[in-house]
Structure 1
Amino acid sequence: MSQSITSNELAKRVVNREDTLILDVRNTDEFDDWKIEGDSVEIINEPYFNLLDGLDPVADKLKKDQEIIVVCAKGNSSKMVADMLREEGFTDVHDLEGGMKAWSEHLEPVKIADLNDGGSLYQFVRLGKGCLSYMAVSENEAAVIDANRMTDIYEQFAGEKGVTITHTIDTHLHADHISGGRQLAEKTGGAYYLPPKDAKEVKFDYEALEEGNDITVGNTTIKVQPLYSPGHTIGSTSLIIDDQYLLTGDILFVKSIGRPDLAGKADDWVGDLRETLYSRYKELSDDLIVLPAHYSFVEELSDDGSVKARLGDLYQRNEGLQVEDEEAFRSMVADNLPPQPNEYENIRQTNMGKMNPEDEKQREMEVGPNRCAVHG
């Protein structure tokens, strides 16, 4: 029988840039849309149905003594192919437990920094979807920003640190993944914050995330300072923590900028996006460390597995920040919009409290990569 490898174990390899060979047996269209990526990952795609009559399609691509990790959508087909490989004399074969579904849900915590007066800031990297969420810890309290729906991970992490989650914050109304912010607040008894301009249709109570209303975590000087920064959504609000870290939500990424069209108002919001990127952020310190809510490319991961960059450096090298002419900027955004995220409108409805899908349906709604960025 084949041995399984967990998403947690595979994530450690990807982050540590260990040589990894993956045989992905999903259909080619699914593979082309979304796959496991990493600096040291080699990946071969051969659909499962091509292997039902034998391993000939991959035999000349694999060595009998090399480690092979077989991946499918949910973990069933990969087990069968892994067993077939072992029967043919391949000695080091594993299947990914739970398949791409499990990979999509794994969160890898990375420490970003020690904060003033003993606090800490952590980034949770969702390698399978490119989502980034955060936890700011101070004294016995914690704030979680842009939480994914897998809230148990944040609760467990807070428990290990001996802190209580007292604040959950969404920088905007998400359209590519289901937020866990409200659910996490309900489970921990904390307050849930959302920008009011994004919350006009929500069906639940929330605290207003507004510029000028600092959020203090713990009894120390860690302040989460909101900064109104529309463009991805009309309410998008960035956070400045400790006067050092700029959480940009889906407005600015390391290699790209946010898309303004997920509510069908690209023509209206592209001007707001430009104003935020070319004026509001320009007034901030170049030394702020940008911490976005997503990444698109594996090369955006730093050596420690985190995603971050100095704001001043991004103004030098991020192509989305180099288009000085306003009409040229509008054209660049319009010409480079990626496909809409899978089921993005249903995800928005869920995040507004208008829908409450079963857990399995929520997983299906989130399948695939995030598509929140414009790549110039």
Structure 2
Amino acid sequence: MTGPLRPAFHEGQILSAADLAATVEHARGATARHVRHLHDWGIAEGLALVTRPRTDPLTNDRFVEVSVAAGVAVDGTGREIVVTAPVVLRESDFEAVNGADRPTDEPYPVFLTSADTEPAGDPRPDVCGAAAGRTRVEESYQVLFGRLGEERLVAEQPQPPVGEPLAAPPARWLILLGYVRWTNGHFSGVETRARGVAPRGAGVRADTVSAPSGTLTLRTGREPQEGRPVLMLSGGDPPDLVFGLYGGGGAVTPLMTVAANGNLSIEGSFSGRMSVGSTVVASGTASDGMLLPLPSGVTPEQVADGRVVVHVRVTPRVPALPTRTTLFSPVEVAVDPDRRVRCLIRLYDPRATGSPPPVDLPGAVDFLVLATVAANPGGDGA
């Protein structure tokens, strides 16, 4: 096996077209390998589907003109595709692919692919006996319309093996730009997602991402937008990790902060799945007939199927006594299987005139509810 061949030159060498072409191909091959293996293919800049309202002069029907905005993409073979100016999509091209379909509200995919062409006015050497041939190649592109469902093809495209040189068209790599809707012989709108598939942006493959400025920012969107999430890793004094939302002027409102010492600060509530052996608690006061609450994050379904075990402790509260000589005693203090409180207290004043009988009244309790995750959910607790 051999690696890539790099052209080498020496004094007095006669350079052929093959020598010069090899110089160019070596550089193109290195760039292609970089793009293939250090990046994920996709849209790097622009290339959105843009609409402009139009009116059919014959029917007065409203429709839209669709164009592809200027931009840059890289495909899975390592080729860069540059669209230098907006490109208006031709309705005739759409009809040639999908014109025979029955009317539908489903959007059709639009793809971008690379294409090599010979530029107009290609200069040729004026040498007697020299073979005529092109001296320039335009690294161009094609915009293609797909049939319904063909957007799934983009995920099935195999990348070239390591070291394989760039393949010249017609070896195509499809990049999804979006979708168009078709109504009464015209484009009627565009979509960015259909049938669960959306255009993909270019990415990077790396185990390490460093920030020389001392702050690493991860956000959605190229520019800060108010209300959008942002994750910031700061190496300042003290260093911290902040998740928050952009506010006006690009300022970040922290929602969660992890300090260098491990302290976690959050704005709002915290919930999540309980781990085995963990315990959560609820406490308070409840009167007779009330249903005791479960601790935050615990559901009745978890208790019913044995995933969470609940322990309850209740203590009767001393009521406000009508006289200083009134005696208090609990008659019943319990919690039924539905966690409903049963509390009955008895009041008696032995020094009251006429020796009235004791009075039984509904009472109140202080409660403590502990919920623990069972080590053997659904089992017998053994």
TM-score, shorter chain, exceeding 0.5? no
TM-score, normalised by the number of residues in structure 1: 0.19
* More helix per residue: 1
* More strand per residue: 2
- Larger Rg belongs to: 2
Higher relative contact order (CA 8 A, sep 6+): 1
